[in-house]
Amino acid sequence: MDTQVLTTVLFLTVVAATVAITFWASRQTKTAADFYSGGRSFSGFQNGLAIGGDYMSAASFLGISGAIAVYGYDGFLYSIGFLVAWLVALLLVAEMLRNAGRYTMADQLAFRMRQRQVRSAASISTVVVSIFYLLAQMVGAGTLVALLLGVDSEAVKNITIIGVGALMIFYVVVGGMKGTTYVQIVKAVLLMLGSALIVVLVLAKFNFNLSELLGSAADNSGKGEAFLQPGLQYGASLTSQIDFLSLGLALVLGTAGLPHILIRFYTVPTAQDARKSVLWAIALIGTFYLMTLVLGFGAAALLDRDQVDPLEGGNQNLASPLLAEAVGGGEGSTGGAILLALIAAVAFATILAVVAGLTLASSSSVAHDLYKGVIKKDQPVTEKEEVRVARIGAFVIGAIAIALSIPAQRLNIAFLVALAFAVAASANLPAIIYNMFWRRFNTRGATWSIYGGLISAVGLVFFSPVMSGLPTSLFPDSDWSIFPLNNPGIVSIPLGFLLGYLGTISSREPDAEERYTELEVRALTGAGAEQAVLH
Amino acid sequence: MTEHERAARHDPIYDRLHATPEFAELRHRYRSFVIPATVAFLAWYLLYVVLSNWAGGFMSTQVVGNINVALIFGLLQFVTTFALAWYYAHYSQTKLDPLARQLDAEYRKGGDA
């Protein structure tokens, strides 16, 4: 059977199913609480699945297995950092945020601070983080579709980016949080089942013996034992080792500051359900990252180097789909064609679910924080008007993401995601943690940490070798790089925390300190927290 | 600064709840769990990153077949993450939730009065 036809049919099935879900969800979306938080009526288990669907992005599914296939053990750091990060969300953020906030990340700051300043800052950083993350997913979608259709043309990539952008705007505008959540749940189930199938087929080839799989991966990689040891990608020099540490910090501290993850905690009735969702998410995401280990080493063992290694003309982002083809019987076989098409469709569903969550997070913040909290702060805004602005916001952000994705195609997907994590860890996490744990924290502290973390993270990347100075840079012919690392986290995260501290102690805000009493009682007990909407 | 730029004043019931010994106990139980736990798992994770960077010889030691210390260390990060998540769930259900429910009930009573 022809893979391209089969792939196209499966892609269209995924699109049709998600469109149907969205129309169905739109009939249940009436109020602002429905649009932003799905009426807060999802169960912990449903939300755990949706968090998994929101979090396991193309960078995880395609990127990590590809990184392991090429660099061996060093690719594993991503899996570990992405998982351990959930403990920050579980212990310090999820439950208190659910009790203290309403629809967006800014709510819990605005609870006790000056609305205009903190909502503007939080909204800007929400939109910046979401757009970096969106670019990664959309560039990934373009590459995936072009390569699967076997045509490496700019036109196909651009059409795919526009198509994905149009779909994500549709999910959010029509389905709101309910539609987005069901799309994410379906995707999480597909991704887990699809990955498990390939993992079992890979392990079966090695008699379910992990050591045999690893040995075969090391031999086939041409790098021998070094392939199973740390250092192949990052061990070259002290600079690259510090870069690795910097990346590790951003991964572990970024998750609990990602706006599209934070708003998921508002979709359940109580803080206990928010905790349950994170526990389910940890079980799901942990299992998934264990599977990426097998997928990555499986690709290294079973595929030729010129299929996956970019230095030998391969494409590391295609390691998982090509591995599916190999274990299905190889190129040209029916089994191979079916599995390749299936895994490609799963990857496509993965991208769609993540971009929907990102568009929803940023458009919610534009409507609820910027429009209602800043622009119209002295006038009453009806719920209908607020939701209409959120829908317009989804259009605008979708259009910006499409416009930026087309020239961004030269950028590395994993790098864009790592940058989103670094910005989230530097700008958002310090403000969230200080606000919950430190009575003295105030508006100046919050705005200094958000703007300081945001500007330093983005600024350091601008002056890094990612942008200029090396043949692999975005602008290889110029050189303005003065910061040696690709990952800014090791500087920008401590700076975000430091600026939050300095801003706070250099100003006094008795109102914010007094209101901390209510924030703390509410956050820890749920007294007065937003209730679920009953229809 | 206009009234709208400032957060609204709060209900005095929060001051009363905040002053109760139950609330002080709840906050103590919560903080005395999550702060040391966070320090511990971050230190354990950073140890893993540092060893991967600067203790290549140790991490490359083979244990069984092709399975080396680095792989076991990485898999242990999964085990400790699952274990701490499970333990926190257990701790919060037995030590935190009953107190939180009691205070929330007092809030609801106070709100009606």
Number of structural domains chain A divides into:
1
| pLDDT tens-place string over residues A98-115 | 999 889 999 999 989 998
Give me the mean pLDDT over the A215-225 stretch: 91
pLDDT at residue A380, rounded to an integer: 86
Domain that holds residue A184: 3-525
pLDDT interval class at A212 (50, 70, 90):
very high
Task: Say if residues B28 and B96 touch (Cβ distance below 8 Å).
Answer: no
Asked whether residue A535 is domain-assigned, the answer is no
A235 shares contact with chain B (CB less than 8 Å): yes
Q: Chain B window 27-86: which residues touch A at a Cβ cutoff of 8 Å?
A: 27, 30-31, 33-34, 37-38, 41-42, 45-46, 48-50, 52-54, 56, 59-60, 64-68, 70-71, 74, 77-78, 81-82, 84-86
Task: Say if residues A296 and A397 touch (Cβ distance below 8 Å).
Answer: no
Asked whether residue B4 is domain-assigned, the answer is no
Instruction: Read off the amino acid at residue A302.
Output: L
- Crossing angle of helices A238-254 and A413-423, rounded to 10°: 60
Cβ–Cβ of B5/A235 closer than 8 Å? no
Q: Which comes out higher in pLDDT, residue A376 or A273?
A: A273
Rounded-to-5 percentages of helix, strand, coil across chain B: 80, 5, 15
Number of structural domains chain B divides into:
1
Contacts with A225 from chain B: Cβ below 8 Å:
60
B21: closest CA of chain A, how far (Å): 13
Asked whether residue A531 is domain-assigned, the answer is no
Residue with tokens 């149009």: A166
Asked whether residue B14 is domain-assigned, the answer is no
CB burial string A508-529: b at 16+ within 10 A, e below: ebebbeebbbbbbbbbbbbbbb
Q: Whole-angstrom Cα distance, residue A97 to residue A312?
A: 47
Task: Say if residues A333 and A248 touch (Cβ distance below 8 Å).
Answer: no
Of A346, A325, A344, give the one whose Cα is nearest residue A336: A325
Cβ–Cβ of A248/B78 closer than 8 Å? no
Asked whether residue A461 is domain-assigned, the answer is yes
| pLDDT tens-place string over residues B78-87 | 999 999 999 9
Residue with tokens 């007092």: B106
Domain that holds residue B90: 39-107
pLDDT at residue A201, rounded to an integer: 96
Q: Give yes or no for residue B7 having a pLDDT over 60.
A: no
pLDDT at residue A1, rounded to an integer: 53
Asked whether residue A534 is domain-assigned, the answer is no
A224 shares contact with chain B (CB less than 8 Å): no
Q: Give yes or no for residue B10 having a pLDDT over 90.
A: no
Contacts with B49 from chain A: Cβ below 8 Å:
77, 244-245, 248
Cβ–Cβ of A275/B92 closer than 8 Å? yes
Question: Is residue A364 within a helix (H) or strand (E), and if so which, with residue range?
Answer: helix A334-365
Q: Give yes or no for residue A219 having a pLDDT over 70.
A: yes
Asked whether residue A257 is domain-assigned, the answer is yes
Q: Give yes or no for residue B4 having a pLDDT over 70.
A: no
| pLDDT tens-place string over residues A155-196 | 888 888 998 899 989 999 999 999 999 999 999 999 999 999
Of A145, A102, A107, A140, give the one whose Cα is nearest residue A126: A107
Q: Are strands B62-64 and B67-68 parallel, antiparallel or unpaired?
A: antiparallel
Cβ–Cβ of B74/A76 closer than 8 Å? yes
pLDDT interval class at A148 (50, 70, 90):
confident
pLDDT interval class at B1 (50, 70, 90):
very low
A420 shares contact with chain B (CB less than 8 Å): no
Reported residue count of chain A is 535
Q: Whole-angstrom Cα distance, residue A356 to residue A134?
A: 9
pLDDT interval class at A95 (50, 70, 90):
very high
pLDDT at residue A6, rounded to an integer: 84
Asked whether residue A410 is domain-assigned, the answer is yes
pLDDT interval class at A472 (50, 70, 90):
confident
Of B90, B46, B76, B94, give the one whose Cα is nearest residue A90: B90
Q: Give me the CATH number covering residue A38.
A: 1.20.1730.10
Q: Give yes or no for residue A470 having a pLDDT over 90.
A: no
DSSP letter at B12 equals T
A106 shares contact with chain B (CB less than 8 Å): no
Cβ–Cβ of A283/B56 closer than 8 Å? no
Give me the mean pLDDT over the A406-427 stretch: 85
Q: Chain A window 141-160: which residues touch B at a Cβ cutoff of 8 Å?
A: none
Asked whether residue A139 is domain-assigned, the answer is yes
pLDDT at residue B75, rounded to an integer: 96
A484 shares contact with chain B (CB less than 8 Å): no
Contacts with B94 from chain A: Cβ below 8 Å:
none
Biggest distance spanned by C-alpha atoms of chain A: 72
pLDDT at residue B2, rounded to an integer: 42
C-alpha angle with apex A42: A40 to A46, nearest 5 degrees? 150
Phi first, then psi: give them for residue A482, nearest 5 degrees: -120, -10
Instruction: Read off the amino acid at residue B81.
Output: T
Q: Give yes or no for residue A276 having a pLDDT over 90.
A: yes
- Please state, rounded to an integer, the average pLDDT across all residues of chain A: 90
pLDDT at residue B113, rounded to an integer: 42
| pLDDT tens-place string over residues A314-351 | 777 888 989 999 999 888 888 888 898 888 888 888 88
The answer to whether the Cα torsion of A480, A483, A485, A487 is positive or negative is negative
| pLDDT tens-place string over residues B18-75 | 999 999 999 999 999 999 999 999 999 999 999 998 988 899 899 988 999 999 999 9
| pLDDT tens-place string over residues A292-310 | 999 999 999 999 888 888 7
Asked whether residue A382 is domain-assigned, the answer is yes
CA A365 to centroid of chain Cα atoms: 17
Contacts with A83 from chain B: Cβ below 8 Å:
77-78, 81
B39: closest CA of chain A, how far (Å): 10
- Please report, rounded to a whole number, the percentage of residues in chain A having pLDDT higher than 70: 99
| pLDDT tens-place string over residues A31-56 | 889 999 998 989 999 999 999 999 99
Residue of B2, B27, B49 to mutate, interface with A, max A Cβ within 10 Å: B49
Q: Which comes out higher in pLDDT, residue A470 or A456?
A: A456
B66: closest CA of chain A, how far (Å): 5
Contacts with B85 from chain A: Cβ below 8 Å:
86-87, 90, 278-279, 282
